[in-house]
A and B are shown apart, each in its own frame.
Chain A
Amino acid sequence: MKNQTEKNTFDAIVVGSGISGGWAAKELTEGGLKTLVLERGRNVEHIVDYTTAFKNPWDFKHRTHLTNEELDERPVQSSHCNAADMHFYVKDSEHPYVQVNPFKWIRGYQVGGRSLTWGRQSYRFSDLDFEANKKDGHGVDWPIRYNDLKEWYDYVEDYVGISGSLESLPHLPDGVFLPPIPMNAIEKYLKESVSKQYSDRLIINGRVANLTERKKGRGQCMYCNLCSRGCPFSGYFSSNSSTLLDAYNSGNLTLRENSVVKEVIYDETKKEAVGVKIIDAITKEEISYYAKIIFLNASAIATAAILLNSVSESFPNGLGNSSQQVGHNLMDHVVNEGTYGTFDGLQDKYYEGRSPGTIFIPRFQNLNNETKNTDFVRGYGIQGKGERENWETKATTGFGASLKAQLQTPGEWKISLGGRGEVLPNYENKISLDYQNRDSWGLPIVKVHFEYGSNELAMMEHMTKTSEEMLVKAGFKNVGSYRNSPPPGSAVHEMGTARMGHDPKTSVLNKHNQMHDVKNVFITDGSCMTSSASQNPSLTYMAITARACKFAIDQFHSNPS
């Protein structure tokens, strides 16, 4: 028995191998800690398991459509995946959850998690974001500021490889960038038009984790724009292409796939967590692993579910939940369905290669008194893409030789714009556990309660209106918007369910991402977010993870016991 326990004992355990878990794995192993990474899904070996990456359109029997059978298995995920990348998304039929209100929980249960399929947009938060809760009273104050995170943004950006342009915007700090992905003719045209028409906003190159130059061990982006199939060139950042490889190379990594974490084990006498209990996804065997430090990086909803299911004498409502905040304050980003317009000019211009990036309009509302909006607090950014229509998007008439000619020639220039807005922390937006309904592993299934408030709805209205106005002013035609906004969760930016804060009574984590109640449990996935800002959050998760790991490693080495 003792042998088994020894064999199952590590310095640190990381739960989850997605974008933040991968960073925890890299930092902890490189910091000298023997680290066990637990991943609930299957292994995805870098390159080898990107089975669709080089497939041509005709190699898919139904092209990228899902069959009715595949659709039935994926009623939720199907809006975000297609036949070419669905193997990196769960089957909802195998992983049920309850939507008390409509909420899309998009998941990728595999080594690398959703870092394989992420949108790669990477923007820093600024003090406008870190101070927002304190200033307008929504939620609790962040226990950190931009200065606490700046060097960690530098550190992760340098490693990840973010292409972007230096803009000197105080509310969207510059970073360590590779050359930006250039704008095409229509994007450049819109940028110039917006600069002429507006003094309060501008269009910049989107900041994306695609390599515009080679990096150590990784090739540069080949501009296929098929990133979500996995990149055989390592042209974009994923746990698989980067952090997990370095963790492995450190010699300190043990990775166990098919390991569904049931709970964190709390020791009443030591008053700390001593390990985690897993269920083998295949054999359903229950196994315990032990470590001095535990990092939870299972993603916001799953991490909260693990905490709520970790019940002990000291924590009858879930581990580290004396604040009653675990699972609450769930946020996503509010997105509108999108605005579009076509443009008559620039007919002699085209492009070669497919940009995996976007253009970006940084937040321009509520930055200061001059940009104060009376309908909502906080703000939103707008991502956009310009292209010439091809057969997929072009309206055609007739048939025969004339139809063939229409399909063969490049169509109108078109721009699509989509807003991403901040969601306020709200205690009522939460996850809970449904003990009456269990999954295949006997675990209670997650219930999601989530509704937009008036602030989010006002913002959504505004982003659509301003997007249309910018296109009209730039001389676009057929300007319109899809009026149905996608359900919450669609941005796949769930966060906030174990928030950081100064006060143990109103928050779950301290400024080092330690649980206030259980200091050797660190949480650095989206759960930790005290507010959502409007920026895509992965870069911030990575920076926060690296920072918390440094703290954990220093503690580990200074208290050898």
Chain B
Amino acid sequence: MNRRKALGSILGLTGIGIVSYVGLKYVSGNSASNKGQLPKYLNLIAELVDVIIPPTETPGAKEAKVQDYIVDFMESCASNKEYNNFFNGLNDLQETCLNTYDASFENCTMEQKMVLLEDLDNNSGSNSLFSKINNKLRGRSFFNLLKTLTIEGYCTSELGTTVHLNYAPVPGKYEAITTINTNQKAWATR
């Protein structure tokens, strides 16, 4: 299968109510029938978040256990719509990997993983008006959810907050105007 064409299916073009052609259990709209299944995808999510926020001189998202946060959030806090978008997105992604690279996402090379996520990112169109309307109707897209939750999970994790960012749980004072130093890290909390 052509990689571009395969990727089309991840981008939500399958739409509401269309059942997958390969027999994966697609669930659309508001049904909650897949709830409870995401823990099975923990490793896949861990690999995904580590591409979005990889280890550099500071820890990556996987080490910060962002995958646990995403599963917890999805299982307990997400709407059924967004849960299904996420769940279906994972399945689509996995299928695309198999079709394109003959390997699961976890077993793809970093370069292949980057190509897959870049395609998702380029097509998520998160700032277009269409996408905003679409978000309201159908919930946020798979990639939008993945990226947003990875950022949130990482920047509120212990490693993200205290190592990657600047965290002062009890500042003790307020210096309203300071001059920024080189390599000034942003405050983790507001």
Contacts and interface: CB of A to CB of B under 8 A. Distances in A.
A391 interface: yes
A56 interface: yes
Interface residues of A, number: 51
Using C-beta atoms within 8 Å of the partner chain, give the interface range for chain B: 35 or more
A355 interface: yes
Given A391-B151, A398-B121, A182 B186 contact: no
B170 interface: yes
Contact of A68 (B76, B152, B184): B76
B3 interface: no
Interface string B104-128: 0000000000100100010000010
Contacts of A225: 189-190
A54 B171 CA distance: 12
B77 interface: yes
Interface stretch (B15-23, B134-142, B155-163): B155-163
A430 B3 CA distance: 63
B190 A387 contact: yes
A403 B52 contact: yes
B168 interface: yes
A57 B162 CA distance: 11
B155 A407 contact: yes
A307 to B, nearest CB: 41
A351 B69 CA distance: 30
A183 B52 CA distance: 36
Interface stretch (A342-350, A458-466, A476-484): A342-350
Interface in B71-125: 72-73, 76-79, 114, 117, 121
A349 B177 contact: yes
B130 interface: no
B190 A354 contact: yes
Interface stretch (B6-14, B39-47, B53-61): B53-61
B186 A391 contact: yes
Given A400-B114, A401-B54, A408-B186, A222 B178 contact: no
B152 A407 contact: no
B180 A410 contact: yes
Given A58-B161, A69-B76, A403-B53, 9 more contacts: A62-B76, A181-B174, A223-B172, A225-B189, A350-B179, A391-B188, A399-B121, A408-B186, A410-B186
Ranked nearest first, the 4 interchain pairs of A and B with the lowest CB-CB distance are A353-B171, A353-B174, A57-B156, A182-B176
24 contacts: A57-B157, A57-B188, A58-B158, A58-B161, A67-B76, A68-B77, A68-B78, A184-B176, A221-B174, A222-B171, A222-B172, A223-B171, A350-B178, A350-B180, A351-B177, A351-B178, A352-B175, A355-B174, A390-B155, A391-B188, A395-B127, A403-B53, A408-B165, A408-B185
